[in-house]
Structure 1
Amino acid sequence: MVSCAAIVLLIGLLGMVYQATQLPPPNLKDSSLPLLHDDGDDDFPLGSTRIRLSDGRYLAYREWGVPKDKAKHKIIIVHGFGSSKDMNFLAPQELVDELGVYFLHYDRAGYGESDPNPKRSLKSEALDIEELADQLQIGSKFYVIGVSMGSYATWSCLNYIPNRLAGLAMIAPVVNYQWPSIPKNLIRDDYRRRIIQLSLCLAKCCPRLLHWWVSQKWLPSNSVIEKNPAFFNNRDIDILKTIPGFPMLTKDKLKEQVVFDTLKGDWMVAFGKWEFDPMNLTNPFPQNKSSVHIWQGYEDKVVPSKIQRFVSGKMPWINYHEVSDGGHLIVHYSGLCEAILKALLLGEENLLYRPRPENLS
């Protein structure tokens, strides 16, 4: 049986992985966009920009790239577990200018400077994206890129708002072991599945115990797994040497009820029972006017590449790209974001990220 300590390690691992994309955001003073201003909420820090959703919650966001009114392509970036709107998407500025790309990052409910959503669900994640796009008037069609656990929101967009999508990409997307279409023999011996099952049980039945457990000082810290080859390949470990700490997952931060509740709720939606099976979705672009992509590291030790290959294989309309020596932090690899933009916006195929035939079985 998997120990409770393993659950804590996995939670710390996921948070650390997603925080790895959180290098300092682009310098807005050097951007072609004007400086952002407060939305008038006196209780909110100056410089933070938010919209008020129809249910009364506030959603914080930031913009970069070319000015919205001059953009040819508008992309919403969805961050993952433990991350925020300040995550970096490392696209070269020259390419952003050449393609005319406007980027919109936002704090998902309960993260960063956005209000929590006690009714968080798969559908609410998609509707938050849709309402954000509408209030900021970015147009009837927009692109969505989901990173890691933030990809469950992009799956939800495919199900609930496919008519709003100009294209979609998922980077090292989370896999839910409860999807009905995944064969049991593919996941039966996967230790990650057992850990997730136990963590869901604790979160649902004993949330106070779980809260106490993850905030105890005697538990292993993130440093225990920070460079552990059991979780990261060599390229990931090199990246982990260059990033800052993980403030959201410190013992003091986890003691805050709002932080714990956000992480717990996000985890439960991502890995709980879904109201739809992604492998039953239909192609939102039957006329091939746009495309859907999955980017995966072959050596990813958080999300198994063999499951991603199975998922994409069941949906031939999804373009599957594989980084042969990639781990879970591929979004941070040099050149990858450039390749993602070219594939998503221009339809260009990069042979470096084509899976080997023997990897597709």
Structure 2
Amino acid sequence: MAWEISVVLLVIGFVAWAYRALHPPAPRLCGTRGGPPLVGPRIKLRDGRNLSYKEHGVPKEAAKYKVILVHGFSSSKHEASITATEMVGKLGIHFVSFDRPGYGESDPDPNRTMKSLALDIEELGHQLQLGTKFYIIGNSMGGLAVWGCLKYIPHRLAGAALIAPVVNYWWPSFPPTLATEAYNLQPVQDHWALRVARHTPWLVYWWNTQKLFTGSSAVTGIPTFTGPDLQVIAKLAGSGAAVSHKPYATQQGVHESYHRELMVGFGHRDLDPMQIENPFPHGEGSVHLWHGIDDGVVPVSLQRYIAEQLPWVQYHELPNAGHLFSFGETAAKDAILSKLLI
């Protein structure tokens, strides 16, 4: 009888452990008891969620151009380095950056998709009175949001720029051989992490928090940066401008920020950029895709293929540039802004 009780207790203990390992803790919502404090302004969205934002550049009332910025993985509304150029004042640009759902001070969205994020951005532009049309710039993982806007809210866009946008290796329009070759360039740990995000999303939390295997390189903070990226990082560190956004970005929990990002970006979702129709058939706006040849995070071969399939996208490929080129020289920022706005 004693051994039967021991077995039952062992099974109960295992089930309890498995439940805790597979189920992430509830997010610590900003402004609630025990949660992080609310500091910046927020808007209330259609479903009751709150979206936190920050304004940069010239005052909105005096601006000629209004631009929404979409941050990348492990970043936040506070990353707005593209606004640090004299061109902003000369052209009269007003920027709005925001914390994507689950990041910083924005409420999580457990039902997030590319479409829902595009609708969030549309609401942000409407509530902040950015006009009938606005420009959008997305960096890295934020580039996926730009593709979503081009598909779901093209009528609200005056133009768009994608800076080293992340790709989903399983987008149906990619030739399998090309996608496989690019996929194999990534670290082995990312092969597994991305497979988990795509095929078994219910394991994403466990996979990236357990200690038996190494999780996603983006989650662990060791992405595949190349020489040009390391130079940018060193320069930012030397100037005191290198700031980690991780503590703020993940203050409500890593699952609804980092992990949700992987599930939406690489799962079975509602987007294939190469199936998007030209949002500006009469030349009333433009779309620009910027990518560095030496990008070790997103293979340049896939960006080239996307550009070939979408002739309405103006493709800019930069030599001796990595994934972080837009954080470096002012010339790159000025080029991105001038091509998009002028």
TM-score, structure 1 as length reference = 0.75
1:196/1:321 CA distance change after superposition, 3 Å: farther
Partner of 1:297: 292
Give yes or no for contact 1:62–1:85 (8 Å, CA) kept in 2.
Answer: yes
Aligned-residue offset at 1:67:
1.0
Partner of 2:10: none
Partner of 1:307: 302
Give yes or no for contact 1:90–1:332 (8 Å, CA) kept in 2.
Answer: yes
What letter corresponds to residue 232 of structure 1 in structure 2? F
What letter corresponds to residue 272 of structure 1 in structure 2? G
> How many residues were matched structurally?
298
Aligned-residue offset at 1:213:
1.4
Aligned-residue offset at 1:78:
0.2
Partner of 2:315: 320
Matched, 1:200 2:197: yes
What letter corresponds to residue 199 of structure 1 in structure 2? V
Percent of aligned pairs sharing the same letter: 43
What letter corresponds to residue 335 of structure 2 in structure 1? A
Aligned-residue offset at 1:42:
9.4
- Tell me which structure has the larger Cα radius of gyration: 2
Partner of 1:248: 246
Q: Matches of 2:290 and 2:214 in 1, distance apart?
A: 37
Within 5 Å, which residues of 2 pair with 1:1-361? 45=37, 47-189=39-181, 190-191=183-184, 192=186, 194-200=191-197, 204-213=201-210, 231-241=224-234, 242-243=236-237, 244=242, 246=244, 248=246, 258-334=253-329, 335-346=331-342
1:247/1:315 CA distance change after superposition, 3 Å: closer
Give yes or no for contact 2:70–2:136 (8 Å, CA) kept in 1.
Answer: yes
Q: Matches of 1:264 and 1:46 in 2, distance apart?
A: 23
1:293/1:210 CA distance change after superposition, 3 Å: same
TM-score, structure 2 as length reference = 0.79
Q: Matches of 2:217 and 2:144 in 1, distance apart?
A: 27
1:46/1:207 CA distance change after superposition, 3 Å: closer
Q: Matches of 1:276 and 1:201 in 2, distance apart?
A: 14
Aligned-residue offset at 1:197:
3.6
Aligned-residue offset at 1:263:
1.2
Q: Matches of 2:216 and 2:110 in 1, distance apart?
A: 29
Aligned-residue offset at 1:100:
0.9
Aligned-residue offset at 1:70:
1.4
Give yes or no for contact 2:198–2:267 (8 Å, CA) kept in 1.
Answer: no
Partner of 1:354: none
Partner of 2:26: none
Give yes or no for contact 1:297–1:327 (8 Å, CA) kept in 2.
Answer: yes
Residue by residue, what CA displacement relative to the aligned partner does 1:242-274 show, whole Å, maximum 9, x if unpaired? 344646279xx97x8732232111111111123
Aligned CA RMSD, in angstroms, stands at 2.9
Partner of 2:27: none
Q: Which runs of 5+ in 2 are unaligned?
A: 1-30
Q: Matches of 2:271 and 2:245 in 1, distance apart?
A: 34
Aligned-residue offset at 1:198:
2.7
Q: Secondary structure at the match of 2:81?
A: coil
1:301/1:51 CA distance change after superposition, 3 Å: same
1:332/1:158 CA distance change after superposition, 3 Å: same
What letter corresponds to residue 74 of structure 1 in structure 2? K
1:54/1:178 CA distance change after superposition, 3 Å: same
Partner of 1:358: none
Q: Matches of 1:338 and 1:87 in 2, distance apart?
A: 17
Q: Which moved more, 1:124-133 or 1:276-285?
A: 276-285
1:202/1:177 CA distance change after superposition, 3 Å: closer
1:42/1:175 CA distance change after superposition, 3 Å: closer
Partner of 1:356: none
Q: Matches of 1:144 and 1:171 in 2, distance apart?
A: 11
Q: Secondary structure at the match of 2:82?
A: coil
Q: Matches of 1:79 and 1:260 in 2, distance apart?
A: 18
Q: Which runs of 5+ in 1 are unaligned?
A: 1-40, 347-361
Q: Matches of 1:195 and 1:301 in 2, distance apart?
A: 18
Q: Matches of 1:309 and 1:98 in 2, distance apart?
A: 33
Residue by residue, what CA displacement relative to the aligned partner does 1:315-361 show, whole Å, maximum 9, x if unpaired? 11100001111111111120111100100011xxxxxxxxxxxxxxx
Q: Secondary structure at the match of 1:274?
A: coil
